Amino acid sequence: MSAKTQHNNILLAVAGFTMVVAIVGIIGYFTLDRPQETIQGEMEADEYRVSSKLPSRVVKIFVKEGDYVHVGDTLAILESPEVSAQEKVAEAAAGATDAISDLTEAPTRREAVESAYQVYQQAIAAADIAQKTYLRTERLYTEGVTTAQRRDEAKASYDAAQAAVKTTKAQWELAKSGAREEEKRAAKKNAEAARQAVDVVSSLVKENVQIATQEGEVSEIYPKVGELVGMGSPIMTISIVNDMWGTFNIREDQLKGKKIGDVFTAFIPALNKDVKVKIYYIKDEGTYAVWKATKTAGQYDLKTFEVKVRPLEHVDGLRPGMSLIVK
């Protein structure tokens, strides 16, 4: 065999081998299963912040991060000197208005009635003297013994005495009958308004005692004892860890066949454990695109849909932030 023939045979063998490899690769690409993609989610939980309604100073904190609290547990005590001062002023004002209201409602005292009667009788006596003085002065004026000025002065004194009789009689009648109904109503309304003001300030004072409104775990505490906090500033965050769920952002081409109520298995790497979860929510609108088309024709963007699941049973050690893996 010539060298040229041998060389051609080698080239044919290499070409044939290359063709076989290419054919096997093409067949494998279209016939063999592609690697299954992984869907990753995350456990989540609701949380709420314990905040101050007023500018205050932190006096004491009863919990630490990681503690589990129940409804009604005292979490922290704040102090607001301005509110405490307002409470004292409001209570003093309420006490005064209550006293006035009690006086208007109380039965008329005998001493007050008697005193008013004596004043009334004195006014009558004074009016009687003033009348006699006026009549005598009038007669003297008619006789030309006294002046018109003296007569006018006597007449004015008599008129004033008559007015005093009417006034003291009215006071005596009032003392006998007690305060008028409108005065009683006004005093009562003033007392009620003062008490409402006390209630408002007292409610603000109660806000200085921060209590847990839901069960959960203290995830973060912001101020330290002795620090000032502003109005609405958070004191701590409570995570409601007894009601957790998992959230997946699933690409739309992986969403096929998934519906609310479906149950599937998810793996939790942190616990090295498989758990059964159930879909309870699928968002009705796709969000951002996680895969962008790179060609102008034949390709399209793929968006994601938010899917939420809950474990079918309690999982010890499960915490917000842990990953969920679905293959």
The CATH number linked to 270 is 2.40.30.170
pLDDT in tens, 63-105: 999 999 999 999 998 887 655 545 554 454 455 455 545 545 5
Question: Are 231 and 244 within one domain?
Answer: no
Question: Do the domain assignments include residue 29?
Answer: no
- Print the domain residue range for 97: 86-203
Which residue's entry shows tokens 């007669």?
139
Rg of the chain over all Cα atoms, to the nearest angstrom: 48
Confidence band of 125 (pLDDT split at 50, 70, 90)? confident
Show which of 189, 220, 237 is a domain's final residue.
237
147 band by pLDDT with thresholds 50, 70 and 90:
confident
Is residue 12 in a domain?
no
Contacts (Cβ under 8 Å, ≥6 apart) of 80:
54, 55, 56, 57, 204, 205, 208
42-51, 222-231, 238-247, 268-277: range with lowest mean pLDDT: 222-231
Domain count, the chain: 3
Q: Is residue 248 located within the same domain as residue 232?
A: no
Q: β-strands 302-311, 289-291: how paired?
A: antiparallel
Would residue 136 count as lying in a domain?
yes
The answer on 147 and 117 residing in a single domain is yes
Residues 151, 252 within the same domain? no
Query: Which element (helix H / strand E) includes 230?
Result: none
Domain co-membership, 144 together with 116: yes
Q: What is the pLDDT at residue 257?
A: 83
Contacts of 75 (CB under 8 A, 6+ apart): 50, 61, 62, 63, 69, 210, 211, 212, 218, 235, 236
DSSP string, 64-116: -TT-EE-TT-EEEEEE-HHHHHHHHHHHHHHHHHHHHHHHHHSPPPHHHHHHH
Query: Does a structural domain hold residue 30?
Result: no
Are 112 and 142 within one domain?
yes
> What is the distance between the alpha carbons of residues 121 and 124, in angstroms, rounded to a whole number?
5
32 assigned to some structural domain = no
Residue 17 placed within a domain: no
Indicate the length of the chain as a whole number.
Answer: 327
CATH number for 54: 2.40.50.100
Residues 173 and 64 occupy one common structural domain: no
Cβ proximity of 261 and 323 under 8 Å: no
Kindly state whether residues 98 and 137 are assigned to the same domain.
Answer: yes
Task: State whether 66 and 213 are in the same domain.
Answer: yes
149 and 196 part of one domain: yes
pLDDT number for residue 21: 59
Answer whether residue 192 is part of any domain: yes
For residues 146-171, give the mean pLDDT: 77
In a domain, 157, yes or no: yes
Whether residue 90 is found in the same domain as residue 194: yes
117 and 64 housed in the same domain:
no
- Asked whether the CA dihedral 106, 109, 115, 118 is positive or negative, the reply is positive
